[in-house]
Amino acid sequence: MALVQLNNSSSLADRIAAVAHSATRRVAQYRAYRRTLAELQSISGRDLADLGLDRSMLNSVAWEEAQRH
C-alpha cells in the first residue's frame, strides 16, 4: 500500500493533490483486482490445476497482480 508522504513545507494544494493521487491509484488497483479475480473465477477447476492454482489461491493471486500495475 502506498502511503502519502508529506512534509511541513508542503502547501495545502500539494497535500490535496497527493491524497487525490493516492486515492486514484488505490481505486485503479482495486478495479484491477476485481477484474483479475473475475477472470480467474471463470476458469474451470481443471484448467486452474493445469496452471498450478487452487481456488483458495485466487484472491491472493489477483491482489498480487493488481499491485504490479
- Phi, psi of 65, deg, nearest 5: -65, -40
pLDDT, mean of each 10-residue run, the chain (69 residues): 60 94 96 97 97 96 93
Q: Is residue 11 part of a domain?
A: no
Say if CB 40 and CB 62 are below 8 A apart: yes
- CA dist 11 and 60 (Å) reads 38
Q: Is residue 21 part of a domain?
A: no
pLDDT value of position 69: 74
Q: Is residue 9 part of a domain?
A: no
How many structural domains does the chain have? 1
Residue 59: domain span = 33-69
pLDDT value of position 65: 95
**Separation in Å, CA 17 to CA 1, 12, 14, 65:** 18, 9, 5, 26
Q: Is residue 18 part of a domain?
A: no
Q: Is residue 38 part of a domain?
A: yes
Q: What three-state secondary structure class fits 43? A: coil
